[in-house]
Amino acid sequence: MSSTPCPALPPQIAKMNPACKYNVIDFYYDGGVPRLMENLQTMLETDAMTVTAHTLAENIASHKYRYPATGLVNHTMDDPFGYTGGVAVLRGNLAPDTGITKPGAFDKSLHHFEGEAICFDSEEAAEEAILAGKVRDGHVVVIRYEGPKGGPGMREMYKAMKYLYGRGLSKTTALITDGRFSGTNNGCFVGHISPEAAEGGPIAIIHDGDRIVIDIESRRLDLMVPQEEIDARLKAWKRPEPKFKKGWLGLYCKIAASGSEGAVLKFDNL
């Protein structure tokens, strides 16, 4: 991908923790949402009426700022932080139905990461291994069976990323999962990988030691294993027993849709 601005994406004109060292309070001192809307107004429907009984344009024009602009958090359209946005959708042989990452929140040196897989079939197993020092520089931590069906409920994998950060591994490792992430994470990660492991997605057949490539520029997530080997592993894969077989969670394990479809309930799967 070239560095030419993409007309389909609005420029990234505000950035704060975990994407940079500045936090919400710095955003407030730099004008907060009003300054953001002022800078972004050429892309807004400013003639829309608001609850103030004035249009958005009138609200922007009449706003009184308490502090002078610092330019640390809010940038203008002419001087954005970047043109790629904070979130990227990846595809590849490990994410046929997509995975989601947040390149705006981690160092650009990690926008191309190739490493060795170390696999875990639950969030807890990964966290124990990280804290025990089993995860090393160059590892791609694979956490699977935590998607909508497998979790069940697509649990949030924030602890593993925090532990990697705390052990000084946030710039030398990566993490991929069919679980999800919140907005507070920092480091090279790909979540929401679909199809999930519990549905027989390719993330289920990764072996320890396999090479994995995360390439933000090309929007790719790939397992560096011959396709014939991937096909053979998928054919030999056996679906594990669901974590719940009764009650609401048992039902959810059975009929939850893929993360790429919103993890909604699909009653036609009954």
Element (H, E) at 234: helix 227-236
Give yes or no for a contact between 104 and 12, defined as CB atoms under 8 angstroms apart: yes
Instruction: Please confirm, yes or no, whether 182 is among the known catalytic residues.
Output: yes
* Token code pair at residue 238: 């056996």
Q: What angle do CA 213, 175, 225 make, to 5 degrees?
A: 35
Residue range 120-177, pLDDT digits in tens? 999 999 999 999 999 999 999 999 999 999 999 998 888 999 999 999 999 999 999 9
Query: What pTM was estimated for this model as a whole?
Result: 0.81
Rounded CA-CA distance 202/269 in Å is 21
3-state secondary structure of 159: helix
Sole residue written with tokens 């069976």: 145
Catalytic residue among 2, 62, 122, 182: 182
Residue range 74-114, pLDDT digits in tens? 999 999 987 767 789 999 999 999 999 988 778 788 999 99
Q: Which amino acid does the sequence have at 158?
A: Y
